[in-house]
Amino acid sequence: MTAKPGPSIRAVPDGDDRERLVCPDCGFVQYDNPKIVVGAVVTSGDRVLLCRRAIPPRKGFWTLPAGYLELNESALDGARREAWEEARATIAIDALLAVYNIPRISQVQLIWRARLASESFEPGPESLEVKLFGWDELPWDALAFPSVRWALGHARDVGDAAVFATRGNPPGETGDY
């Protein structure tokens, strides 16, 4: 049996308003949708957990434990998994801190507020180093992405508030760097 090639032409499907990859034989439409990133601003007392990236993009720069949501995974489970993968940290998630839209790279980022459930952590395979920083020690000039800066600022703004409005992109910010 020979496999068919699948979607291979760009066309505007009936009822749609933009070009998509379409199979000319069966009419199957391939939709390319944004990637969902999940992560957390993880604290221990007044310190914040950051990971120094061991992989591109922005290798060597500091970031939150975060990454792509997997298929069949809840956003909360994804944020917990990313904290484990990148920092070997077990976290307790408390609230959704922010939803950031980065259209240039087709990402939506869900960033949670969390705390370390254990003081045990170490670099995972995607991190060169993992460290707790006091707010006055944060490596602002060595942060990997604009959204890391936004999330840290938003976490500082809400502090320990039990109720707060979920944050979003700062006015005029689209995540370009």
Domain boundaries, the chain: 35-158
Q: What is the three-class DSSP state of 25?
A: coil
Residue type, 152: L
Residue-level pLDDT at 43:
98
Residue-level pLDDT at 164:
97
Residue-level pLDDT at 133:
98
Q: pTM for the whole thing?
A: 0.90
Q: Which CATH superfamily is domain 35-158 in?
A: Nucleoside Triphosphate Pyrophosphohydrolase (3.90.79.10)
Give the Cβ contact number of residue 21 at 10 Å. Answer: 16
Residue-level pLDDT at 4:
60
Contact between residue 143 and residue 62 where contact means Cβ atoms under 8 Å apart: yes
Q: In sequence order, what are the residues at sequence separation of 6 or more whose Cβ sits closer than 8 angstroms to the Cβ of residue 159?
A: none
Mean pLDDT (10-residue bins), the chain, 177 residues: 70 92 90 95 98 97 98 98 98 98 96 97 98 98 98 97 97 83
Residue-level pLDDT at 27:
87
Q: What is the three-class DSSP state of 154?
A: helix
DSSP symbol at 36? E
